Every structure is written in C-alpha cells, then in structure tokens.
C-alpha cells in the first residue's frame, strides 16, 4: 500500500499493514473481478474495504478507493455508521455480500431515509460500481518490474531492496571462479570500508594511527595494501612472473589498472586471483600483528599465497579457464 493510501485509510479508522481483519475473502460477483473485500464481524457484512496493493491484486481491478467521506466516524463499520436499522433502511441483509448490493446498472440502494444513508449514497456515487463480466477472476503477483502468476520471493526482494548502479570494478572482483573470502575482502577494500586505523580515528576515538606492518606511516587503505614497505615486498614476490609494473603500486586505481591488463604470460584471470589472494593475506597478517602480536616475514606470506593459488588451479584444472595456468 502506498504511504498516502495508508495514511488516508488510517485517518478514517481502517486497519493498515496486514489489515487486522477477522476474516477476509474476495468477492465473486458472478465471475467478475471486484477488488472489494468484506470485513466480517459476528455475522454478515460489516465493512467494505479495498484490496491493498501490498499483496497480490486482481488483474481486472476496478475499485481501489476506501471510505473517505468527512462525515464518517473513526469506526467505519457500516452497521455502526448506519445504526441498528441500517440494514433495513438500505434493504440489504446483514448477511449480504457486495454482489447483492449492485447490478450492471449500478448500486441497488433505495432512496436514503437518513443523513447517514444519504452520506453513503454520496460516497458510492463518487466511485465506480464493480462491473460484471463473464471473464473468470485471475490473480497475479505484481512488482514494479512485471506481473507473475504466483508469488516470487526473488522479484519481491529485488523490488523492495535499495539498489545502486553497477560499480565499474564489479567485473574484476566478482567472477565465477573467485574464492569467496578473497573477493569479499577485495570488494570491501575497494569500497574503502575496511577498519584501518586511519578510518577508525576519523570516527572520533583517539587511536594510534601508525601502520601495523611498518609502524612508519599512517595506516590508510592505500598504504596498508600497496605503499607500505612490507606490502611492497609481498607484492614483489607475488607478481614477479606476471609482468609486474616498473614501479611499485602507489594508489588503488593503479592496482585495478594492472589487474585489468592481460597478456599471454599473465592472463587477466590469474592476475585477479593473485591480487585478491594477496589483499586477503595482507589483511590477515595486519590483524595477526594487531591482535596476536604475530609477525611473519614477507617471504612466508608469499609462500601462503603461492600455495593457495596452486591449490585453486589444481582443483579446477579441468575447467576451460584454468587450462595451462599452472605453467604461468
């Protein structure tokens, strides 16, 4: 239900959200489709309410208005609004359905005999009477993208969740054969959302912002993963056979540019795997130093990276993308 509709219905006493109904049932209208629904009390007709658009709706939907006359009280039950003699005044049984109150020519109501009945007439003349048709009712689940014959959790989630345009780095971070822990770490690092000391200090607390790996410079993302002397040594080992740049990486865009490039001796897939694995292990080593006071040399970190890449290629060696990668 749209916010404006929800507020309007709430202002006149209609329940919103799940509607809080004792029992709801869509009307038949002799095979036609009416979006009116009845709220039943102890017996029979109680309130005419509209179908909400928060759930499935009728494909041939006609009426989407609620009772919004200014004369109505906060309790919009027809029985309470018209009084005890209301059913006899409008000549509609307390057990009647909407189909019995209308015809192809309009609403079947006698001349009003009270101010309340007059107000009901005025309201009903302001909306379209449900039409009769030989077409059977059909219900669909509608989202902003399309209509579906049944409920779809996927399309509903896509319709509800906030979404942003695709990021330009998506193709080099999210790919089918990537290692989940590595590409997730790479994605968070690419968004500059990792809790580096410089980023934590920017939130207000007084912290030591020196790099955990070299203790010489401020620990920002670009320094921690690229320009730090410790990280530079790890990168020198990791990409020695992958056409490394002439100078070490100094900024994140430089790293992304190198990953996108490709050559026969250094395919783009291998560059992606190695870069993501290196970022993951550098972050892991940084956390080991910070939380466990465990320091390892760059050569040890490179051996971990090398073993992980070899295991990844070996386990998928029958895949088309991994053929001949081990030789690189």
Give the per-residue pLDDT at 222.
Answer: 96
pTM of the predicted model as reported, rounded to 2 decimal places? 0.57
Token pair of 83 as six digits: 């009084």
DSSP 41-108: -SSSEEEEEEPPTTS-EETT---------TT--S---HHHHH-TTHHHHTT--TT--GGGGEETTEE-
Lowest model confidence (mean pLDDT) among 88-92, 188-192, 237-241: 88-92
Cα within 13 Å of Cα(140), Cβ side: 12
Structure-derived torsion over alpha carbons of residues 208, 214, 218, 223, reported in degrees to the nearest 10 = -140
Token pair of 190 as six digits: 């690419």
More confident residue, 295 or 67: 295
Please, which contacts does 106-115 make with residues 24 or more away whose CB atoms are closer than 8 Å?
Answer: 113/89, 114/82, 114/83, 114/89, 115/71
Find the farthest-apart pair of alpha carbons in the chain and give their distance in angstroms, rounded. 95
Average pLDDT rounded to a whole number, residues 42-49: 37
Give the per-residue pLDDT at 292.
Answer: 94
Rounded CA Rg of the chain: 34
Average pLDDT rounded to a whole number, residues 162-171: 84
Give the per-residue pLDDT at 133.
Answer: 61
Residue for token digits 């909407």? 98
Lowest model confidence (mean pLDDT) among 42-56, 98-112, 202-216: 42-56
Beta-ladder partners of 11: none
pLDDT tens profile 170-203: 889 998 889 999 999 999 999 999 999 999 999 9
- Work out the pLDDT band at 82, boundaries 50, 70, 90: confident
Average pLDDT rounded to a whole number, residues 76-87: 72
Average pLDDT rounded to a whole number, residues 73-81: 55
Give the per-residue pLDDT at 266.
Answer: 85
Cα within 13 Å of Cα(44), Cβ side: 9
256: left (phi over 0), alpha (psi -120 to 50) or beta: alpha
């Amino acid at each position: 239900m749209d916010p404006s509709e929800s507020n309007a219905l709430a202002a006149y006493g209609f329940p919103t959200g799940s509607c809080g109904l004792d029992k709801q049932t869509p009307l038949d209208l002799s095979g036609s489709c009416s979006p009116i629904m009845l709220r039943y009390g102890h017996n029979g007709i109680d309130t005419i309410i509209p179908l909400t658009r928060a759930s499935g709706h009728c494909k041939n939907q006609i009426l989407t208005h609620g009772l919004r006359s200014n004369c109505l009280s906060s309790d919009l039950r027809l029985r309470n609004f018209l009084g005890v003699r209301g059913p006899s005044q409008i000549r509609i049984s307390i057990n009647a359905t909407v189909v019995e109150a209308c015809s192809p020519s309009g609403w079947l109501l006698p001349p009003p005999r009270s101010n309340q009945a007059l107000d009901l007439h005025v309201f009903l003349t302001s909306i379209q009477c449900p039409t009769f048709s030989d077409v059977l009712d059909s219900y669909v689940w509608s989202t902003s993208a399309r209509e579906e014959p049944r409920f779809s959790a996927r399309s509903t989630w896509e319709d509800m969740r906030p979404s942003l345009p695709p990021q330009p780095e998506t193709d080099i971070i999210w790919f089918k054969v990537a290692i989940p822990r590595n590409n997730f770490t790479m994605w968070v690092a690419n968004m500059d959302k990792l809790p580096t000391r410089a980023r934590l200090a920017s939130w207000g607390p007084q912290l030591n912002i020196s790099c955990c790996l070299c203790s010489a410079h401020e620990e920002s993302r670009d320094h921690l993963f690229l320009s730090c002397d410790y990280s530079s040594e790890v990168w020198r080992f990791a990409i020695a056979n992958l056409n490394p740049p002439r100078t070490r990486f100094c900024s994140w865009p430089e790293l992304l540019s190198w990953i996108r490039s490709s050559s026969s001796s250094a395919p783009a897939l291998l560059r992606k795997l190695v870069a993501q694995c290196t970022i993951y292990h550098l972050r892991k080593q940084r956390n080991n130093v910070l939380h466990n006071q465990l320091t390892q040399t760059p050569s040890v970190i490179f051996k971990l990276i090398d073993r992980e890449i070899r295991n990844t290629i070996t386990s998928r060696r029958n895949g088309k993308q991994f053929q001949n990668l081990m030789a690189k």
